[in-house]
Amino acid sequence: MRIALCIAFMFTVAFLGIGVAPVPDSQIPTVDGVIDEGEYPSQIQEPYTNIKIYWFNDEVYLWVGLVSPGVGWVAIAFEPESYAHYGANIIIGYVENGQLFIGDHFGAEMTSHELDETLGGTNDILESAGTESEGKTTIEFKIPLNSGDQFDKVLEPNKSYNVFVAYHATANDFISEHTGRGKLAIETVPEFPGTLIILLLFMSATLLVSLAYRKWRLV
């Protein structure tokens, strides 16, 4: 019985290790301003603006892609505290002459937003890229789920969050009023989604080993 228990313990430790292993690089989106088919496991199109939202997260970071139907700015606001973007963590960007201009903003008032850095916070956009093509703007960025900045929202895996998306058809700035905006919810990817299944399978296997050992001892 001791042998069987040792085997069960080793299986549990081994597969817990697998469950918390980092996400393979092949599954992480490439932040290059181009969204390839299948690059993101989650996507949705906001019906009023037709902005497409792509996203992926592991236990530490969130990757987001936005495709706007215009050539001006495009933005996403996480967890607004009102019908407007007040209190939200806002990422807004535009592409001009092939260069991406992007900012980490906070919804300081109902109808205005400021750079986190202006308010005493930090710029927590870790990676970003953008392109314009065929009258559409694509931006991609990577941010921490929990930046520690008071002007950002703490996000977690396997939860639903309200977001606003908005865009301007032509304006390359951070201040022009939107051409259109819409609100919807997105769900972050579950943390370690395969861990429970793996553990159940291998705990079952160790139970069979234990039963077989007991039967062998009785022979």
- What average pLDDT does this structure show over 194-202? 48
Between 188 and 25, name the one with better pLDDT.
Answer: 188
How would you class 204 by CB atoms within 10 Å of its CB: exposed for 0-12, middle for 13-18, buried for 19 or more? exposed
- What average pLDDT does this structure show over 6-35? 63
* Domains in the chain: boundaries: 2-20+195-218, 25-187
SS percent in the chain: helix, strand, coil, step 5: 20, 35, 45
Between 190 and 47, name the one with better pLDDT.
Answer: 47
Beta strand pairing status for 99-106 and 61-68? unpaired
- According to the model, what pLDDT value does residue 209 have? 52
Q: Is residue 112 very low, low, confident or very high in pLDDT (cuts 50, 70, 90)?
A: confident
The whole-angstrom separation of Cα 212 and Cα 195 is 26
Torsions phi, psi of 58, nearest 5?
Answer: -110, -155
Contacts of 91 (CB under 8 A, 6+ apart): 64, 75, 76, 102, 103, 104, 105, 125, 141, 143
- The closest of 135, 140, 112, 137 to 125, measured between CA atoms, is 140
- Rounded to two decimals, the pTM is 0.78
Q: Is residue 25 very low, low, confident or very high in pLDDT (cuts 50, 70, 90)?
A: low
In the chain, beta strands by DSSP E: 42-45, 52-57, 61-68, 74-78, 89-96, 99-106, 114-115, 127-133, 136-144, 160-167, 180-187
The yes-or-no verdict on residue 198 having pLDDT over 70 is no
- According to the model, what pLDDT value does residue 196 have? 45
Residue-averaged pLDDT of the chain: 84
Between 202 and 190, name the one with better pLDDT.
Answer: 190
- According to the model, what pLDDT value does residue 16 have? 45
- What average pLDDT does this structure show over 189-201? 55
How do residues 49-86 score in pLDDT, each as one tens digit? Answer: 999 999 999 999 999 999 999 999 999 999 998 777 88
Asked if 109 and 122 count as a contact pair (C-beta separation under 8 A), the reply is: no
The whole-angstrom separation of Cα 124 and Cα 105 is 10
What CATH class has 25-187? Answer: mainly beta
Torsions phi, psi of 115, nearest 5?
Answer: -60, 140
Q: Is residue 219 very low, low, confident or very high in pLDDT (cuts 50, 70, 90)?
A: low
The whole-angstrom separation of Cα 104 and Cα 113 is 10
